[in-house]
Amino acid sequence: MQDSGDSGSPWKAAADRQTEREAKRIAVLRTAARAFNEMGYHNTSLDDIARRLNVTKPTIYYYVRNKEEILFECVRIGLEMLDEASNDVAGHDGSAYGELIAVMRKYAEIVTMDFGMCVIRVGEEPLTEESRRTLRSLKRSIDRKFRRLIERGIAEGCIAPCDPKIAAFTVAGALSWIARWYRPNGGLSPHDIAAQSIDLLMNGLGKTPGQNQNIRGGP
């Protein structure tokens, strides 16, 4: 008897159908994220998303229940990408400093992508409180990983003594803001933007180390 997954069968195997459906669902979400980023969540309708995909509105409902679910999934995917950035580079460098640089680079690049950009430009505010709680737990995970890397760096002596909480907020906040002003057709690539931003965050604007000593007390 011929297996239903063989190429000679007129029917696709269940796994193949599921893979195809998931690919189409991601296409719906990615198109929606791009629309939200460009037009705003409240100004984007399911009709707008359907037109961009060149499908009917009922087709959208085959993959998602409503617009709120679309936003939740877009932000969730973006946050999971950011959360996994540290996992992808863990152990790739012998020092916390090198690992922190690698995480920052991936973070900066992710926020120039459709889902990562949606996390910053739209976020979870339009969602229900329950959905916001779920997404905020992911944000806390990202923050904890930044803090642990900074704490490790301080302990290793490769990062200057500082408040890890403030440092993590500053780094993540600065890198996240890239999503607000980045334009795909701009003069700099995501790689270039990441490199310059990280250099400024790690080395500062002062020409020499002594120029940064009076920040707390002013002139």
Please give the structure tokens belonging to residue 93: 């460098």
Question: What's residue 214's pLDDT?
Answer: 47
Mean confidence (pLDDT) of the chain: 89
Please give the structure tokens belonging to residue 90: 């863990």
Whole-structure pTM value: 0.85
Q: CB–CB of 130/123 below 8 Å?
A: no
Task: Please say if the pLDDT value at position 5 is more than 80.
Answer: no
145-150 long-range contacts, CB within 8 A, separation 24+: 145/83, 145/86, 145/103, 146/86, 146/100, 146/103, 146/171, 146/172, 149/86, 149/96, 149/99, 149/100, 149/103, 150/96, 150/100
Q: What is the mean pLDDT of residues 76-97?
A: 86
Q: What is the mean pLDDT of residues 136-160?
A: 95
Residue type, 203: N
The answer to which of 48-62, 124-138, 194-208 has the lowest mean pLDDT is 194-208
Question: What's residue 9's pLDDT?
Answer: 61
Per CATH, domain 69-206 is 3.50.50.60? no
Q: What is the mean pLDDT of residues 145-166?
A: 96
CA gap 126, 105 in Å, rounded: 29
Q: CB–CB of 178/111 below 8 Å?
A: yes
Question: What's residue 113's pLDDT?
Answer: 97
Q: What is the DSSP letter of 123?
A: -
Task: Please say if the pLDDT value at position 132 is more than 70.
Answer: yes
